[in-house]
Structure 1
Amino acid sequence: MKYAVKMPKVLQAVYPKRLWSINTADKVLYLTFDDGPIPEVTPWVMDTLANFNAKATFFCIGDNVRKHPDIFEQLIARGHRVSNHTMHHVKGWKTPLVAYLREVDSCQNLMELEAGQEIHKLFRPPYGQLRSKQAKALQKKGFQVVMWDVLSADFDTALTPEACTKHVIDNAQAGSIVVFHDSKKAWPRLKLALPEVLKYFSEKGFAFKCIP
C-alpha cells in the first residue's frame, strides 16, 4: 500500500494550515468527492446522498465542469458545496508554481462563471501533491487547502468495495473529512461502498455536512 488510509497525526502537525478534519464533538462527517462532475457517476452520488439527507463537498475538475455544466449546476441546486480541484487534475510536485496557480485560477473562474456567483475558495490538490511554495501562494490568494484524515481508497482497482467500506467505518470519527471519488475509475467500488458507509453512520446517529 503506497498511501495511508488514516492520515498520520505527525503529517497533519507538519502542515497545520491545511485542513485535515473539523474540530467538533458533534456526530458529523464531512464526505468529499474528487474528480467530477461526470454524467456516469455524479448524478447517482447526488441521489444516493439524498436518500440519507446528506450533503457533501465536491472538488471539481474544471475541465469536467466545462464539459458537464448541467451536472455542476445540479450540485449547487441540491445544496452541495462545489470546490476547486484544478482545471486538468495536475500533479503539484511536477508542475511549476506559475502554471499550477494558473490551473487553480482557471478552475475557480470557470466555476464562478457557470454558477453565476462567487464560489468558496476551498482547494484540494490532486493526488494530495502540493509543494510548500504552492500552498503559501494559494493561501495568499485566499484559498483554504483542504486535505483529509480518512481515505476510502476507492480509486485503487486492486481493492474490493468491502475493503473501501471498512477503511471508512474503521477510521472515521466525529469531524472526519472523508475522501471518495465520483469518477469512472472509482465507480466499481464507490457504488457499493458509499451506500454502506451512509447507512452505517446514519444508524450511529451521524449527520453528513458540507465542509464549512
Structure 2
Amino acid sequence: MRIALFLWVWLVCAGAVAAPVEPATLDRSTWPEQLTSPALFDVASRAEILAFAHALMVSEALDESALKQRLGLKIINVEAIDALRQRMWQRLLTNYNLAQQSCDQDASFCYYVDDMDSLREQAGKFAIADDSFYVAWAEPGREFHQRYLDEQLRMAALLPQISSEIALLGDQEVNGETMHDRLFLLTFDSGPTQLPGTTDWLTGYLRKQSISGIFFVLGNSLQVRLDKEGALALQALYKGQCVGVQGWEYRSHSHWKDWQDSIARSAALVNQVVPQRYVPLFRPPYGQRRADSGGFFEAQGMRVALWGIDAQDLATSLNGEQSAHRVLTLMLLWRHGVIAFHDTQDKVRTALPWLMNATSQSGLGWESCEALGER
C-alpha cells in the first residue's frame, strides 16, 4: 500500500513539473489611467473582474481531457477544480458589486449585474472594442487572466496529494479572504537576511511608511543573526512589525518527519528573542502542510497563515517591477487579501515602492499585522 501511494504521489509530482509555466504578469502601462482616486481604482477593478470572469467561463467549456492538456498534467482532481471555480464566482460577484458602488462617478465597465446569472451573462460577452480607450490593455489583460487562472486551476488539480494556498484544510487556517474591501496585508517570507540585507532595508522602509507587515522567519536564519548581533539588535530590526514562523528551514512540511519540531523550535526562538513582536502564525513553505495537522496547531495555540496574492518574486523570469505589476493587478481583481513577498529577494526594494506609489491615491488601506491572527 505504501509503495502504491508513493508511486501515485510521484506520478502526480511528475505531472506537476512536466510543463512548467512562467508566472503571469501584466504590464500596467497598458492601462491608460493612473489610479489617482477610489473611483478610478474601481474602474480598473471592474475591468479585471470581468476579464477574469470571462477566462473562467471559457475554461468551464473544456472537458477533462482538454483541461489536462491545458494544465500540462496527467491526473487532475476535477472535484477540487469545480469547487475552486464556485468559490471564485462567488468572490467575483461580491467584488463586482463592491466595485459598482462608484458607477455614478465613472460608468466605465458598469453593466447590469445583480446576481450570478447576470454576472455570467456579462462575463460571457465581455470584449474590448478596437476603438476603445482601453484597447491597449485588452489582449495583455486577456493573456494575464488566462495564465493566472491556469496557475490557480493547476494547484486545485493537484489536491490533495500536493497541498498549497489554494484551499484551507481546517479551522486553524486563515488566508485573508474575510478581510474588508480595499484592505491588504503585507507579508514577507524566508528571512531574515544577514546584515546588511534586504530585511533591514524593508523593515526600515515600512516604518517610514507607517505600515506594518508580518515577517515569517526561518529559525536557522534567525539563530545566525542572534548569535552575531544579540537579541536587542533583532528587537530593533522588527520594531513595529510582526514576526511569525516558517519553520526551522525552508522545506516542505507535508512529508517531513520532523515538521512539528521545526515549527515548535522556531516559535520558541521567536518568542524568546522578540516576544513583543511574535504572532502565533505559521507560513508553510510552498504552501505545503499536512491535512491532519490541525490538532498540532491548536495545541500550540497557532494558526496556519496562507495568502491570496502571490508576488512570484522568486521567479527568475520576473524583475521587481513586473512582480509589483502582478500584485497590483491581483489587488484590483480580488480587492482585499494577504500579499506574499520574500524579504530574501532584492526585488522587493523595487516592487514595494512602486506599489506604494501606484496605489497612494486609490483609497485602499494596509491592514495592521496583528489582525490576521485575530481573524
What residue identity is the alignment partner of 1:34? D
Q: Does 1:73 align with 2:235?
A: yes
Mean CA deviation greater in 51-60 or 100-109: 51-60
Q: 1:114 aligns with which of 269, 273, 283?
A: 273
Structure 2: where are the runs of 5+ without partners?
Answer: 1-20, 25-147, 157-164
Aligned equivalent of 2:211? 54
Q: Percent identity?
A: 22
1:143 pairs with 2:297: no
Report the Cα offset of residue 133 of structure 1. 2.0
Taking the aligned partners of 2:277 and 2:324, their CA distance within structure 1 comes to 34
Whole-angstrom CA distance in 2 between matches of 1:14 and 1:87: 23
Going by fraction, where is helix more abundant, 1 or 2?
Answer: 2
Structure 1 unaligned runs (5+)?
none
Q: Is the 8 A contact 2:321 2:354 kept in 1?
A: no
Q: C-alpha separation between the residues in 2 aligned to 1:118 and 1:46?
A: 13
Whether the 8 Å CA contact 1:37–1:72 is kept in 2: the answer is: no
1:83 matched to 2:244? The reply is: yes
The answer to whether the aligner puts 1:21 opposite 2:176 as a matched pair is yes
Q: In structure 1, the residue corresponding to 2:261 is in which secondary structure? A: helix
How far the C-alpha of 1:165 sits from its partner, in A, is 1.0
Using the TM superposition, name which of 163-172 and 46-55 deviates more. Answer: 46-55
Q: Does 1:64 align with 2:221?
A: yes
TM-score by length of 1: 0.84
- Per chain length, whose mean CA-contact separation is higher, i.e. which structure has more relative contact order (CA < 8 Å, sep 6+)? 1
Q: How many residues align?
A: 206
CA, structure 1 residues 180+147, in 2 after alignment: closer, same or farther (shift >3 Å)? same
Note the 1:1-212 alignment, pairs <5 A.
Answer: 1=21, 8=152, 12=166, 15=169, 17=171, 18-38=173-193, 39=195, 40-69=197-226, 72-77=234-239, 79-96=240-257, 99-116=258-275, 119-172=278-331, 173-183=334-344, 186-187=345-346, 189-208=347-366, 209-212=368-371
For residues 133 and 26 of structure 1, do their structure 2 counterparts lie closer, same or farther at Cα, with a shift above 3 Å needed?
same
Structure-2 change in CA distance of 1:164 and 1:80 (3 Å): same
CA distance 1:112–1:151, change in 2 (3 Å): same
Deviations 1:143-201 (A, max 9, x none): 11000000001111121223211211001254310000011xx21x2221111112222
Q: Relative to structure 2, which stretch is displaced further, 23-32 or 84-93?
A: 23-32
- Between the aligned partners of 1:32 and 1:134, the Cα distance in structure 2 is 22
SS in 1 for 2:315: coil
Is the CA contact 1:148–1:179 (under 8 Å) kept in the aligned structure 2? yes
Provide, for residues 61-88 of structure 1, a one-character-per-residue CA deviation record: whole Å limited to 9, x for no partner. Answer: 11111112355312442x1110011111
Runs of 4+ residues deviating >4 angstroms: 2-14
Which letter does structure 2 place at the counterpart of 1:15? L
CA distance in 2 between counterparts of 1:155 and 1:12 reads 18
Greater C-alpha radius of gyration: 2
TM-score normalized with structure 2 length: 0.50
8 Å CA contact 1:33, 1:180 repeated in 2:
yes
